Each structure stands twice: as C-alpha cells, then as structure tokens.
Structure 1
C-alpha cells in the first residue's frame, strides 16, 4: 500500500468590494465626485470598469482616457478625496447575500481565509463591523504591499498571512483585475457576479468557477473541495 502525502486543506483569499460587501457603486460615485472636484468629467461606466485596480493605476488609466496629466501630489489628493466621498456613503453599504455566513462556515470547518483588498485600511476596515468580524481578522490592505491589483502582491501577502502556499489557495473576486492578480500569484480564481462583471469576462480572465454571490458559493462549497470533515 502506497503512503501518498495528504492533500492540503484549501484556503480562500477574498477580495472585499463587490465580493463580500455591496460597495462597488458607492466607490464609483465616490470616484466620480472626487474627479469632478478636480474638474475631470468621466462617465460612470468608464469608472466602473476600473474598480478593483490599485488606486494609482486606476487614476492613471482614467487619465489616459481623458488625455489629462496630474502630478503625484494631485493623484494622492484625488485618492484622499475619494476616501472622503466614500466615507460619506458608507452607511448605505451592506454585506452581500451570504457573505457573513460563508466566512462563518469556512471558519467552522477550519478552512483558512483572509481578505485582500486594493482599498486602504482607512476605508477597508469599515467593512469588519458590517460583516460581524473581529478587528484581528486576517486582512491585507493597500497600505501593506508595494503594488495592488492586477499585481499579485495582495494575494501573496494574504497567503503568507494564513500560512498557505499560494498554489493551494483560491482567490475569490468580482473583477477581471482580481483574477489576473490570482493567476500571477499562482492561485486558482473564483469569480462572483456581484460586482457587475459578466460570466464570460470573468471566465476569460481565468475564473474556473463563477457564482452569483457569496450565498451561491456557500451552497456549492463541495465543488471547491471543501468538505464537512475539513
């Protein structure tokens, strides 16, 4: 009888906005408000397509579309204005269906997980209370890594935080930027439709499974190798 090594327990690295909390459109409005405050008029749909990227890349991509140039100081100011505008709307942000239950179920089954977000701690940590999570919840924010999505740094740091090999982790995200970063980190990608991207877009970016929202994923955990005995 062969003594084969035991398969590792799967681990999950979650994006935050549009994946665990229903905040994508609040961020879109906050970015539009911040941009308008600096005299930059952009359509909402153009902003939405960039949500999930690091703030710096986000601004660079949008400015490229307008042909405008901003200094590093102005880009930093723009990101501060975005955070201010988002905080004014945070009261309207709610957990996505099944998000709290999904994280609770993974914890109950002993499955490691962390939250990895391109948002800065100032706004991202507001989500912990919404999700009924303690302050010491494993979370990697933009402040803690050199580069955010679509670079893999956030997910590599998240895997290290919960002490798993990225190759044994699954990244759960709602945008193509999450899935590109997952591929670069060497992790499997799971797409959620709750951020506004379509199934085809998520699959083309590398999602091997796509679910409607966290509740749908919770109902199908067996498809991801999460067993009751885990």
Structure 2
C-alpha cells in the first residue's frame, strides 16, 4: 500500500483564568480594590471587559478611558496591589467544570498541551494545585515573554513548549484578547463561554468553535480532530 504523508501533530494551548479556572470575577474584584486604593473609581463592567490583557496594557487601557494619568512607578504599584488582593481571594477559586478531566484526557491520548496566561507566575502558579498538576507543567506566564495578549508572544512560546509549529496549535480561551492573540500567532482559536464573553463576540474575534466550558469541550473533542483512536 502506498504511504501517504501523516498529519502534523496538533497541540492545545490553554488560557488560564476563565478557561481552566473560575477566577475572572476574583480578578475583577482584585483590580477594583487595587484601583480604589489609589483613588480611581471604575465600574466593574469596565474592568471585566479588559480581563485577559497583560496587567500593564490593562491599566493603560482603563486609564485611557478615564483620562487619568499614572507614572510607570504607579502602574507597577497598582499591579502589585492587584496581585496581593487576588491572593487574598485565591481560596475561593475553583477549577471550571471538566477542566481537570479535559487535561487528563489529552495527556492520556498523547496530545501535547500547555497553559499560556497573561498573569504573572506569582498568581498563575497557584492554579497548578487546584488543577492537580505538577510543578513542571508546561506553563508560560507574563514574566517569560516580552509582550502579553493581545500580542501573540505567549502562544508562540506555548507552541515551542509543546513542540509544535504555532500553525498546528489550537488556542482555547474565554476572551476576545485570547482569540486576537491566537490569530496573530497563526493558530486556530477555540472559545469558551466560562469567562463571561458572549458567543457572538468570540466568533467575531475568530473562534472556530465555541463551547460552554471545558466539560462541553471534552464531550466534543472529536469536532477538534481528537479521536478515541488517537
């Protein structure tokens, strides 16, 4: 029988907050607390719309909307206050439905994956224990790249961790910033609704498929080319 070329290995690159762990609103509250501590009063919905960006870009975008000005030192201080406020709430964060099982299933089937988050290691690595993952889990954090989402650096680094070309990766995220970064990396975007963005928003940002949460995605892995025989 004639040998035909094999399909290249695909990998999944997962955002963290709102995608694998139910932490978006803890981040929103932490940012509001940090902002209030510096005398900046912003509505929760304005903060939520920017979750998923890097902390520095997040602050710059919010300040642009309000017309306020902060120095580089004040922005750094604000990010530190956010991290401290988030750590105070970390006990209330839980894995999203199906997240642990989804990662376990991909591992069992030999499908490479990595976690790519705009969060710094200080807060992001708290999630490894929640997800039952070892310390050497492939995770790319803000500390490790030059720019975070919506730039593609996190997902380019994640693809390198997973040992695949970015064009053979599928990015799973809950925000338009994840999907914009995925497109810029040349990867296929998959949306989940568990971070608060709507299906239409995710599809307009480039999502090939949209699932309710990791459990829904796990039930439909065959739609993404992951079959029982893999």
TM-score, length of structure 1 as denominator length:
0.99
Distance 1:5 1:139 in 2: 31
Q: Distance in 1 between matches of 2:73 and 2:3?
A: 59
* Counterpart Cα distance in 2 of 1:52 and 1:77: 19
Helix, strand or coil: the match of 2:28? helix
Task: Spell out, residue by residue over 1:11-69, the C-alpha distance to the aligned partner (whole angstroms, 9 max, x if none).
Answer: 10000000000000000000000000000000000000000001111000000111110
Partner Cα distance (1:8, 1:86) in 2:
40
> More deviation in 179-188 or 3-12?
3-12
Q: Is the 8 A contact 1:14 1:113 kept in 2?
A: yes
Secondary structure of 1:12's counterpart equals: strand
Q: How far off its partner does 1:227 sit?
A: 1.2
Unaligned 5+ segments in structure 2 are none
Query: Gaps (5+ residues) in structure 1?
Result: none
Partner of 1:49: 49
* Structure 2 Cα separation of the partners of residues 150 and 4 of structure 1: 38
How far 1:2 sits from its partner (Å)? 5.0
CA contact under 8 A between 1:10 and 1:226: conserved in structure 2?
no
Give the SS at the match of 1:134. Answer: coil
User: Does the CA-based 8 Å contact 1:171-1:182 persist in structure 2?
Assistant: yes
Cα offset for 1:229?
2.0
Are positions 1:120 and 2:120 aligned together?
A: yes
Q: Determine the C-alpha separation between the residues in 2 that align with 1:3 and 1:204.
A: 40
2:9·2:164 contact (CA, 8 Å) conserved in 1? no
Residue 4 (structure 1) shift: 2.5
- TM-superposed deviation, 1:5: 1.2
| Offset of residue 110 of structure 1 | 0.1
Matched residue SS, 1:178: helix
